Copies of this chain bind each other. A is one copy, B any other.
Amino acid sequence: MPELSTLPAGELAQLHERLRTRYERFRALGLSLDMSRGKPCAEQLDLSNGLFDCVSADDFRAADGTDCRNYGGIEGLPEARVLFGALLGARPEQTIVGGNSSLAMIHDTVARALSHGLPGGEGPWGRLPAVRFLCPCPGYDRHFAIFALFGVEMVPLGIGPHGPDMGAVERLSAEDPLVKGIICVPKYSNPTGVTYSDSTVDRLAAMPTAAPDFRILWDNAYAVHDLTDSPPVLKNVLDACEAAGHPERACVYASTSKVTFAGAGVAAMAAGPHTIARTRKHLSLRTIGPDKVNQLRHVRFLRDMDGVRAHMRLHARILRPKFDAVQQVFESRLGGKGVAGWSRPQGGYFVSLDAAPGCARAVVTMAGHAGVKLTPAGATFPLGRDPQDRNIRIAPTLPPLDEVRRAMEIVALCVELAAVRKLLGEEDLAAL
């Protein structure tokens, strides 16, 4: 297939009519497909149904005899700290195991930094004239929403195959004391699927920063979410920071939301000793403790990292065909046409699709009218503003395989249609 931009106007107009006819046929089907959020499907959730009965009325005590039903244990069950420490790449004593949401832990870290400051710093960030965070883009919309909520200025940066644009990261961090950190999804990045290289991790750990309390918020949400048998290995950021003489720099987060039950999993964080001590103190003023019964369920069900990895292979069996279907449809429908690029992730929950510049909003609108719900265009950029209006996040995990295929056919069609309409000089690309 030749690149569409090389087609003469007449052929383009004919192509437009064919695509439009096809689009109308899809629209007439009255579909309702949701590709908008990274939710596990029911078949994945079924893999963890063992959680329901691995703690019982006869057996609710932790290894040290703690009655998990009662109050206490602000930093989590000892055995949960071991398991989640291993998942986070941290020692148990620098690991806090909490409730069901790592996003809440990230939110609370930002909120605490603003209200009280962080170890190594000079008081509450909220007293400064501004607080800035480096945001590799495209990135995770819910991260950006937390910064927006608290008025933290987001500095967008590019992200390439090895991670964020480290030249820009180093320059901005060194120059501006109001740059207080960077937020990262370092493995199978949301949505690009990028895993940071060793060099990226080392540079983040070692770089000089103007802010003494600079933090790397390391949302390792897809730490074990491999789709292949030879997954990339992410360098341990806590170790790298410690080795570089910045033991308090990294705050690492993960959860079992996409390992066990999305809504009823367990989240954890790890950080440097002073940061963890401060976090623990603050947590102890907010609550009497996390749900230890659910932590015990998770330790019994997953056991250890070998158990986690074996469990994740079962997830991969369900997910790989869906991710393959996305690739197959995009390749067959869009390959060689010069109207789109997309990621080929080895893990994680998303495919990042770049339509032709100026086309993403139109694609999402058109797909919506044809019954395919996508993450809003722009969502992967701070404040929802994609400067090129081209990035679209595809979340293929939730729908059944045939729906993924059908939805991707519609998305690919909309991408091509928008590109053709743009080449034809149409003003409103989505006005069909």
**Are A39 and B70 interface neighbours, CB within 8 A?**
yes
With A261-B70, A263-B72 as contacts: A286 and B57 at CB distance below 8 Å = no
**Are A52 and B49 interface neighbours, CB within 8 A?**
no
With A69-B264, A70-B45 as contacts: A104 and B294 at CB distance below 8 Å = no
0/1 string, A101-113, CB within 8 A of B gives 1: 1011001100100
CB distance from A262 to the nearest CB of B (A): 4
Determine the chain B residues whose CB is within 8 A of the CB of A52 once the complex forms: 55-57, 60
With A52-B56, A115-B111, A115-B114 as contacts: A263 and B100 at CB distance below 8 Å = no
**Are A45 and B71 interface neighbours, CB within 8 A?**
no
Among listed A23-31, A145-153, A246-254, A325-333, interface-contacting one: A145-153
The answer to the question of A63 belonging to the interface, with a C-beta cut-off of 8 Å to chain B, is no
Please, how many angstroms separate the alpha-carbon atoms of A45 and B67 in the complex? 9
**Are B68 and A57 interface neighbours, CB within 8 A?**
no
The answer to the question of A289 belonging to the interface, with a C-beta cut-off of 8 Å to chain B, is yes
Determine the chain B residues whose CB is within 8 A of the CB of A48 once the complex forms: 69
**Are B57 and A290 interface neighbours, CB within 8 A?**
no
**Are B71 and A103 interface neighbours, CB within 8 A?**
no
0/1 string, A40-57, CB within 8 A of B gives 1: 101001101100110111
0/1 string, A52-89, CB within 8 A of B gives 1: 11011100100000011111110000000000000000
Determine the chain B residues whose CB is within 8 A of the CB of A286 once the complex forms: 101, 103-104, 107-108, 146
Please, how many angstroms separate the alpha-carbon atoms of A304 and B116 in the complex? 41
* Size of interface on A: residues with Cβ below 8 Å to B: 54
Determine the chain B residues whose CB is within 8 A of the CB of A146 once the complex forms: 285-286
**Are B67 and A107 interface neighbours, CB within 8 A?**
no
**Are A49 and B45 interface neighbours, CB within 8 A?**
no
The answer to the question of A287 belonging to the interface, with a C-beta cut-off of 8 Å to chain B, is yes
Q: Which of B53, B71, B103 contacts A56 (CB 8 A)?
A: B53
Please, how many angstroms separate the alpha-carbon atoms of A240 and B200 in the complex? 59
Determine the chain B residues whose CB is within 8 A of the CB of A101 once the complex forms: 286-288
The answer to the question of A293 belonging to the interface, with a C-beta cut-off of 8 Å to chain B, is yes
Please, how many angstroms separate the alpha-carbon atoms of A60 and B46 in the complex? 11
The answer to the question of A347 belonging to the interface, with a C-beta cut-off of 8 Å to chain B, is no
Considering the complex, give the chain B residue whose CB is closest to the CB of A72: B263
The answer to the question of A282 belonging to the interface, with a C-beta cut-off of 8 Å to chain B, is yes
With A285-B146, A290-B100 as contacts: A262 and B71 at CB distance below 8 Å = yes
Q: Which of B39, B40, B42, B264 contacts A294 (CB 8 A)?
A: B264
Q: Which of B40, B71, B142, B261 contacts A263 (CB 8 A)?
A: B71
Considering the complex, give the chain B residue whose CB is closest to the CB of A101: B287
Most buried by B among A71, A72, A126, A292: A71
**Are B292 and A71 interface neighbours, CB within 8 A?**
no
With A262-B70, A264-B69 as contacts: A107 and B285 at CB distance below 8 Å = yes
The answer to the question of A235 belonging to the interface, with a C-beta cut-off of 8 Å to chain B, is no
Q: Which of B99, B103, B285 contacts A145 (CB 8 A)?
A: B285
The answer to the question of A257 belonging to the interface, with a C-beta cut-off of 8 Å to chain B, is yes
Determine the chain B residues whose CB is within 8 A of the CB of A280 once the complex forms: none
Determine the chain B residues whose CB is within 8 A of the CB of A285 once the complex forms: 107, 142, 145-146, 149
Please, how many angstroms separate the alpha-carbon atoms of A144 and B40 in the complex? 41
The answer to the question of A291 belonging to the interface, with a C-beta cut-off of 8 Å to chain B, is yes
Determine the chain B residues whose CB is within 8 A of the CB of A149 once the complex forms: 116, 282, 285
The answer to the question of A162 belonging to the interface, with a C-beta cut-off of 8 Å to chain B, is no
CB distance from A349 to the nearest CB of B (A): 12
**Are A261 and B99 interface neighbours, CB within 8 A?**
no
Q: 20 pairs across A/B with beta carbons < 8 Å?
A: A39-B70, A39-B72, A42-B70, A52-B57, A69-B263, A73-B263, A99-B99, A99-B100, A100-B287, A101-B288, A103-B288, A104-B286, A104-B287, A107-B287, A111-B111, A116-B149, A142-B288, A261-B293, A264-B293, A291-B294
Residues of chain A at the chain B interface (Cβ within 8 Å):
37, 39-40, 42, 45-46, 48-49, 52-53, 55-57, 60, 67-73, 99-101, 103-104, 107-108, 111, 114-116, 126, 142, 145-146, 149-150, 257, 261-264, 282, 285-294
